[in-house]
Amino acid sequence: MSSPVNPPSEPSEPSQPGHPAPVPRLQQPAESRRRGKALRRMAMAGLAGALLAGGAIWAGIETYSRLAHSSAIETPTAVVRRGDVSLSITAPGELSGGNPDTLTAPMTGGGDMHLTELRNTGEQVQAGEVVAQLDTKEQEFKLKEAEGDLAEAEQKVIQAKSKQEAEEEEDRYALSKAKADVTLAELDVRKNPILAAITAKQNDLALAAAKDQLAQIEKNLANRAATNQANRALQEAGVGKAEAQITEAKKNIEAMTLKAHRTGYVALKPNTAVDFFYTGMTLPDFQVGDRVRPGMAVAEIPDMSSWEVVANVAELDRGHLAVGDKVSVKVIALPRKRFTGRVKDLGATAGLPWDRKFACRISLDSPSPELRPGMTTEVSVTTDELKGVLWLPSQALFESDGKTYVYLKAGSSFTTREVKLVRRNEARVVITGVAAGQVVALANPAESARKTPAAGGAAAIPPSAR
């Protein structure tokens, strides 16, 4: 076996004493090869790790997609059950005193008023205490104006009366003088037989003129008396008008001090005197400085002896309620106490077409001293007790074209089954047409099938689409 041939080496300088010998250059290529192999091994290891990590991520994504897909196509179901069902209606409500004493701004006939004093909601007041005070400056100004008009009208009445008395005195003098002239003329006429014809004629003419003057004065006296009487009545009417204005201003000033007519708690009303309003807007209660229009309700003093709950009940449940039904009331602020009451009145239905409700007024049987106006309540009315009936959650029942049906599970698919609705409330429906233990869908399986075409089984369709 031949030995490897070493390449010729360059001549090296002889080593000097005290200096190390130079390293042979034959060792450098072998060390470089070792380093390259190590680097390649490290690169291969890193690439393998990256491939393993990528595979793990891809497997995780695939697993998540399969799980999401399977959950997306899964239709929630419920089991038809047979048993005793207690149908009840629940609704939120608000506590208030029955027959409240409403304090309203007076109809002053003027512009808007402003609140200068106001009690707080929930503050206890005694009968006769001031609850709210409205600004009376405008009415005080009207009162001063009316008082000035009254003084002026009274002076005009005095002036008219004095003028009338003076004219009546003048008229009486003129009447007396005219009567005296007629008497003198009559005496002169008596001398006519012994007087010349022309003188007698003059006396006759003088008598006729005196009588005409007397008749005219008497007529003028009657007309002047009627005129003076009308003028005096007009001035007295001005007095009456000014007095009425004074009375009205004083009444308005007194009415602008809103006082409690009974002992109780103050419940401020929402301020509806706003420049804009949108659906769902919560109006704030009245505050000092707020503008108040005449006739607006500012506060209420509830009657503590007859508490009421006003609950907003869905229109769907109106036919299940009647005046006199027994009600269970839970006051949120008093969780350890339960109250009972009875339906007092069913109000008019109002609201948006998809969320129509009506106000149900409930009177409490045994109120508690801890109750306060405005407390939130939850009312529950048991409308019926059914024994041994088939029932389902209300979302399992579907309606179309006046028919009621359910989606009955048959193997891996669902089929429609028409059923008869007996009773229903917000949570449960009582039906006939299915058997206890059967499984029905809580959602339309056709909707899930359209969203996920890979879902197995035939999708059911409502009867109206067949």
Pairing label, strands 77-79, 398-400: unpaired
The per-residue pLDDT for 258 is: 92
Q: List, in sequence order, every residue forming a beta bridge with 125; answer none if it has no partner.
A: 264
The per-residue pLDDT for 314 is: 87
Tokens of 50: 């990256």
The per-residue pLDDT for 69 is: 47
In the chain, CATH 2.40.420.20 sits at 77-85+387-465
Residues of the chain with pLDDT under 70: 1-32, 62-73, 98, 277, 280, 448-466
Sign of CA dihedral 287, 288, 291, 296: positive
Q: What is the pTM of this model?
A: 0.44
The per-residue pLDDT for 203 is: 81
The per-residue pLDDT for 30 is: 63
CATH classification (class only), 137-255: mainly alpha
The per-residue pLDDT for 37 is: 76
Pairing label, strands 376-393, 355-364: unpaired
Half-sphere exposure of 170 (CA within 13 A, CB side): 9
Amino acid letter, residue 422 = V
Q: Rounded to whole angstroms, how far apart are CA atoms 189 and 203?
A: 5
The per-residue pLDDT for 66 is: 58
Q: Rounded to whole angstroms, how far apart are CA atoms 294 and 292?
A: 7
The per-residue pLDDT for 29 is: 60
In the chain, CATH 1.10.287.620 sits at 137-255
Give the residue from 307, 315, 302 showing the smallest Cα distance to 344: 307
Taken as a whole, the chain contains a residue count of 466
Q: Rounded to whole angstroms, how far apart are CA atoms 105 and 256?
A: 7
The per-residue pLDDT for 449 is: 57
The per-residue pLDDT for 464 is: 44
CATH architecture of the domain with range 77-85+387-465: Beta Barrel (2.40)
H, E, C per residue of the chain: CCCCCCCCCCCCCCCCCCCCCCCCHHHHHHHHHHHHHHHHHHHHHHHHHHHHHHHHHHHHHHHHHHHHHHHHCCCCEEECEEEEEEEEEEEEEEEEEEEEEEEECCCCCCCCEEEEEECCCCCEECCCCEEEEECCHHHHHHHHHHHHHHHHHHHHHHHHHHHHHHHHHHHHHHHHHHHHHHHHHHHHHHCHHHCCHHHHHHHHHHHHHHHHHHHHHHHHHHHHHHHHHHHHHHHHHHHHHHHHHHHHHHHHHHHCEEECCCCEECEECECCCCCCCCCCCCCCECCCCCEECCCCEEEEEEEEEEEEEEEEEEHHHHHHCCCCCEEEEEECCCCCCEEEEEEEEEEEEEEECCEEEEEEEEEECCCCCCCCCCCEEEEEEEEEEEEEEEEEEHHHCEEECCEEEEEEEECCEEEEEECEEEEECCCEEEEECCCCCCEEECCCHHHHHHHCCCCCCCCCCCHHHC
The per-residue pLDDT for 342 is: 92
Mean pLDDT of the chain: 80
The per-residue pLDDT for 86 is: 79
Burial of 255 (0-12, 13-18, 19+ CB in 10 A): middle
The per-residue pLDDT for 400 is: 86
Q: Are 373 and 265 in contact (CB under 8 A)?
A: yes
H, E, C per residue of 167-213: HHHHHHHHHHHHHHHHHHHHHHHHCHHHCCHHHHHHHHHHHHHHHHH
The per-residue pLDDT for 444 is: 85
The per-residue pLDDT for 331 is: 92
The per-residue pLDDT for 343 is: 92
